[in-house]
Structure 1
């Protein structure tokens, strides 16, 4: 057994470049896993820096000093964020409160429709089993409501942390944009010298993550805006809130679109019942999802689309379980990292 392990180690790690890459990956994983909460402001600033690096770099090419470019881009970004908080957030909050107040009536209406199914199809659907299913759903909904209340109370406690983030993140973002080259040079001092393979993977992933974050923001805006136009035109209630949910659902590939369909269908059914208007809305919503999955995603994430859907879903489950929201957000880049490491592994270390 020991000889088998030793031979495997020699086969896979005979190249020092492979050992260096492995150490860097394990150190990065351990740092984020054990100290992710402490480093969260820095991680958020890094994500935003990837998103804003493109306009800063373009302005620097035009001859504008990088400190001026970083200041202008950051100022514009903060203005947009303040406008969103002052204009969009109150409207979304009002719609969310109203939806929560009407949710029990919506669920009751859906359940009333379900309970008529045993009468229509007595040989297929058993009334007792359906009643147990509805009872279990009600218990789950009650637990979810209690969890939402406790989460709301906990969020009040986190207001201080949110205020700290509001100060730290813009400062970190400014310095990450302004002093990018100096920070990268300083970081390289802590990496072993035999790092050509690590540099190759890092260079590829730097481009991939930057493109992914910018592409994901563009996808959220396009899907959310198109959904709002459809919902608002068809006079669907809670159009703004539902369009935001649809836009954010693209953060979770495959799973998000499936989950967000339930509130859209529930609100539409409660408003119109089984009617042509209800069918038209679901058709338009399906077209949006089809365009997103078959046109927008391949256009924005041509490299990530090469991943098999099973690999993407497994990545979402694994990294989401490890790091929550950010694990889900970076599931595709992390899966691409694994693929890049496998492809770049020295040929002398792999048969």
Structure 2
């Protein structure tokens, strides 16, 4: 006789769920070098698939259509890197002057700390040295992660090509692995997942272009040097949900501090970025990015932090679309629908506690009415 898990006591169910989560997290952390490039490749393959399908409808062979779609994507990425590299070259020409100016500001800051808080300059230097020594291991991990990411880039085209080539095989497997009565739900999950991923990635690209334009225009109007470069970097950092926008403010503020006297420019940068963030969070994200990925803000922040803890920077980028796919699956399975509601952004007008109390009151009144 089979025993269902949902018929067991709560502590048994909680233990089984916790064990399953621990096992999944262990597998994800152990196989990070394999799963991260596969995850990026899957998302990019879904994004490029409509272009390849359109080419095939115009009579282009399947293999050639996939190659053309990937070539177009590579050319777009190469154009962006060429634009950024040209700006970085100009930044490198002024690096000695910026380094000298930054050194002068650092000396003035140390003198202010000594006169205000009584901390000797030698002690400040020692504190900075200790902080740098403590962060060497973190820096090593970061450099290692960057090198690993560069190695992944060479595998991505291979993964993307074969995923697009063997798409019918993968889809048939997903249909056949589940019972035939669930084929409709599988079809709905696959269709919504494809739409959510495409909407999310395209929305992010459009949002990044708009934010980069607003950042660059604001910095150029304020007279911040290398405003276009810093504005574009800020837009790229803004792709990290909720956290990247905060980090992006530090770059133009630091540049304004190094290249300009006084603090009016820094104040203008902070105000401009706050306005841009307000427009981004209240206009661009809801209308462009979140049209398909309906995850509430609390869960978005939590999953981004968890993604960073699990897979680093790659996990921060992948966390939102990954959870969006989970929500689509949860919404199609009766036992998991509460988890889907928890991830969603639909706030109920009444909570279950009030509903249960009202039901109990009605049950208590009904016997009296019958009497």
Q: Same fold per TM (> 0.5)?
A: yes
Corresponding residue of 2:285: 297
Over the aligned positions, Cα root-mean-square deviation in angstroms equals 4.6
Corresponding residue of 1:138: 128
Q: Is 1:185 matched up with 2:172? A: yes
Q: Is 1:206 matched up with 2:206? A: no
d(CA) in 2 for partners of 1:207 and 1:111? 54
Corresponding residue of 1:56: 52
Q: Deviations over 1:91-136 (max 9, x none)?
A: 42663696598468537626746965898xxxxxx72489999769
Shift of 1:217: 2.2
d(CA) in 1 for partners of 2:266 and 2:6? 63
Label 1:202 to 1:291 Cα distance change in 2 as closer, same or farther (>3 A).
same
1:181-330 equivalences in 2 (<5 Å): 181-186=168-173, 188-189=175-176, 191-193=177-179, 200-303=188-291, 306-330=294-318
In structure 2, the gaps of 5 or more residues are 339-351, 353-371
Which has the larger Rg? 2
Corresponding residue of 1:6: 8
Q: Deviations over 1:217-270 (max 9, x none)?
A: 222222123323333454422334312321122222221111221121111122
Q: Is the partner of 2:8 in helix, strand or coil?
A: helix
1:30-69 equivalences in 2 (<5 Å): 32-60=28-56, 66-69=62-65
d(CA) in 1 for partners of 2:240 and 2:123? 27
d(CA) in 1 for partners of 2:160 and 2:238? 25
d(CA) in 2 for partners of 1:109 and 1:65? 62
Q: Deviations over 1:38-61 (max 9, x none)?
A: 344433322321332333344455
d(CA) in 2 for partners of 1:140 and 1:101? 27
Q: Is the partner of 1:330 in helix, strand or coil?
A: helix
Higher relative contact order (CA 8 A, sep 6+): 1
Q: Is the partner of 1:37 in helix, strand or coil?
A: helix
Q: Is 1:106 matched up with 2:108? A: no
Number of aligned positions between the proteins: 330
Label 1:331 to 1:152 Cα distance change in 2 as closer, same or farther (>3 A).
closer
> Is the 1:70–1:174 contact (alpha carbons within 8 Å) kept by the matching residues of 2?
yes
Corresponding residue of 1:173: 160
Corresponding residue of 1:73: 69
In structure 1, the gaps of 5 or more residues are 13-18, 120-125
Q: Deviations over 1:68-88 (max 9, x none)?
A: 432322222222333444453
Q: Is the partner of 1:43 in helix, strand or coil?
A: helix
Q: TM-score, normalised by structure 2?
A: 0.68
Label 1:294 to 1:165 Cα distance change in 2 as closer, same or farther (>3 A).
closer
